[in-house]
Amino acid sequence: MTPREVLEFAKKNKTVMVDMRFMDFPGLWQHFSIPITALDVSSFEEGLGFDGSSIRGWQAIHHSDMLVIPDPTTAIMDPFTQHPTLSMICNVIDPITREHYSRDPRYIAQKVEQYLKSTKIADTCYFGPEAEFFVFDDIRYDQNEHCGFYYIDSVEGQWNTGREENPNLGYKPRYKEGYFPVPPMDTMQDLRTEMVLEMQKCGIEIEAQHHEVATAGQNEIDMRFDTLTRVADKLLQYKYVVKMVAKRHNKTATFMPKPIFGDNGSGMHCHQSLWKGSKPLFAGSEYAGLSQMALYYIGGILKHAPALAALTSPTTNSYRRLVPGFEAPVNLAYSSRNRSASVRIPMYSASPKAKRVEVRFPDASCNPYLAFSAMLMAGLDGIENKIEPGAPLDKDIYDMKPEELSDIPSIPGSLDEALGHLENDKDFLLKGGVFTEDVIDTWINYKRTREIDAIRLRPHPYEFNLYFDI
């Protein structure tokens, strides 16, 4: 839509409020609202002001004034507000220079799409993220000077088979057996369908929905691929819908990678491909029907994966999921069909248009604008430098002997380790000015001081089990 079409759309839907949404640095949507009477065509050029110093990882207090410029192509009616509310995703602008704000994650995604075109390698990158999430009935947690705990509950939780529920009807998915029993074992069917219907209202095309492997309400809804910035926009709308529909039913949803001990965590497998005009560039006659370009792209992903992890798996909790020997694809190898490899080539279709690579180590705690941009930059570096991915690994990695695994590199074992790799391997991100030194340094410093140090300073509840009697 154009700005004038947005105003007509708002009038047609009897809009009373306009919600301006933008992304903070770590990866959460922020917003403020204005009456519809305050929105006119000039708003799409002049923007609206807000305090940038109150946004995580952004401006200092003495440079606090910022502007948002709404993107008219993202306009939708919010399906959850009591009063008709138009929602738009915004770009962030410096009010003095009128230039894009360098730490605006959406701007970085827009820059990487421009850089892709400038390379002449391709003109479009498609991403298709598969975000997994949990829906719980209760979550309580606290941490202070003298205590720390969390408590999760779900009517689906296998741990509740013996609970008095007056009556307890059973049908609680066993650990690691939540994929794909029909109802009544799967209690989330109607809830996911409601999520799908609300996503469709927001313009998100959905391909499938299902229960995931873990007990206690692990789910997945798959949306159709789109261009990089646009699919990152849609992923934020997706997460908003999931959380709001859960809340509507007095439940809570989380994209935290590893909330439950002893069962599968939640990842976000990212399908990606390059196109030039109407031609898919990843289809060819090499391994698994890939082109040589696709193999080089995989080579770039595998080479830079330890640094990528700081952006694609960016929480301390991400590495509770990315543990060697368990379900997560921590070994940096590629394969067709083999889901134990960190990069997989899906083989569902023989069509050249369906040929893509699937990177399996990211999770949905990431900032998608940054994570998708970083993966594309790694893949392009592989193509530009003809980085070979090595031989494919077409057997179950988890059944291999230690000596067989010794030559296969793996994802870092902690966020701190991943950040160290990012410090030492960032040049590929700086090409074309897509990422800046300031963005990378700010990311590393924020994660170390606000997250890693925060966890490191606090006793863990299980440490009392291990050490109290020393």
Query: What are the residue numbers of the active site?
Result: 51, 130, 132, 212, 220, 269, 339, 358, 360
Tokens in use for 315? 């929480």
Q: Distances from the Cα of 70 to the Cαs of 41, 92, 96, 226, 350, in angstroms?
A: 11, 9, 18, 20, 40
DSSP characters over 283-327: BSSSGGGB-HHHHHHHHHHHHHHHHHHHHHS-STTHHHHS-TTSS
The secondary structure of residue 450, as a DSSP letter, is I
- DSSP letter at 352 equals G
Query: Where do we find the tokens 């502007």?
Result: 67
The helix/strand/coil state of 282 is coil
Number of helices and strands in the chain (H, E): 14, 18
Integer Cα distance of 175 and 43 in angstroms:
52
Nearest alpha-carbon partner for 395 in 354, 435, 349, 341: 341
Q: Which residues contact 201 (CB under 8 A, 6 or more apart)?
A: 76, 77, 79
CB-count burial class (<10 Å; 0-12, 13-18, 19+) for 183: exposed
Q: What is the 3-state secondary structure (H, E, C) of 398-421?
A: HHCCHHHHCCCCECCCCHHHHHHH
Other residues' Cβ atoms within 10 Å of the Cβ of residue 64: 15
Q: What stretch of H or E contains 237?
A: helix 228-248
Element (H, E) at 87: strand 85-93
Q: Which two tokens stand for residue 34?
A: 């204005």
Query: Is the peptide bond between 464 and the residue preceding it cis, with omega within 30 degrees of 0?
Result: no
Residue 227 backbone zone (phi > 0: left; psi -120 to 50: alpha; other: beta) = beta
DSSP tag of 386: T
